Amino acid sequence: MIYSCFILFFLLFNNFCNAFTLSNEDSKKIGMQIWMNECGGKKEGLTSWNIGEDFASMGIGHFIWCPKKNKCPFEEQFPKLLIFFEENNITLPKWLNDDRSCPWNSRDEFQKNLYSDKLEDLRSLLLKTIDIQVLFITNNLKQSLNRMMDSICESKKKHIRYQIDRLISFPNGLYALIDYRNFKGDGSCPDENYRGVKWGLLQVLEQMPYPDKQHNVIKEFINSAKTLLIQRVKNAPKERNEERWLKGWFNRLETYNLTL
């Protein structure tokens, strides 16, 4: 369980101060669970390209990596992770020095090169940097919370603060925040919507009720997320056939109830 005694979290004026920490043990547990969520805990899953998508997915968080010729429909994170690796003194494969765009232009091309030197390089890199990837995901959450608060009107900020305070005081609440933000974004990106409806962390928190703090906040968070993801599937372009992913998404949300 991820208990609030491992967390330091402060409010500063209208923004969240970037100050919460995880113990090494809990950081490892969260990293392993995210890896299980995204990749089934398999080394091969650290480098993948899902059917029907125009981009590769890398690392324990399946960070989006787009070919140069493709416009990313969602926030691209893998190039930012590579920069983060360098900032943490991780040596990258030399072939990444020239161009940080995904070198494969389609899923077919990617699959044909599944056991190429480049993909083996990446799997080796990602396998030995699980802890750094968790730190990257956690830092993304910190930035997202401030960005989310900046994107909403004053009348909504009290409700969002209240829900976050409830979550981080509850077992697995921080894991839920970290994982969902990594899983479906923070909800502040204007391009991440279908028919004007978003499904990010901000929208999940906005939709949660305002009950007594004794209520099961994890259950409320899961129910809110499920409602938004159902709406996403309904609003998605038919050719994306997103309904095929809904069961897996729901299974992932239910991990927020598990004892890590």
pLDDT digits (tens, 9 = 90+) for 52-105: 888 999 999 999 999 988 777 778 899 999 999 999 999 999 999 888 899 999
* Mean pLDDT value across residues 22-49: 87
pLDDT, mean over the chain: 86
Q: Compute CA distances 145 → 10, 81, 120, 201, 227, whole Å.
A: 12, 19, 35, 9, 22
Residue 108, Cβ neighbours under 10 Å: how many? 10
In whole angstroms, how far apart are CA 8 and each of 5, 23, 47, 129, 234?
Answer: 8, 11, 33, 24, 39
pLDDT of 139 above 60: yes
> Is 107 a residue whose pLDDT tops 90?
yes
pTM of the model: 0.77
pLDDT above 90 for 48? yes
Q: Which of the residue ranges 12-26, 112-126, 162-176, 177-191 has the most confident prediction, judged by mean pLDDT?
A: 112-126
**105, 67 Cβ separation under 8 angstroms:** yes
> Does residue 60 contact residue 130 with C-beta atoms inside 8 Å?
yes
The pLDDT-based confidence of 21 (bands split at 50, 70, 90) is low
Helix 173-184 vs helix 24-39: angle between axes, to the nearest 10 degrees? 40
pLDDT of residue 212: 62
Per-residue pLDDT tens over the stretch 198-235: 999 999 999 998 866 557 899 999 999 999 999 999 99
- Tokens (6 digits) for 3: 């208990």
- Is the pLDDT at 1 greater than 80, yes or no? no
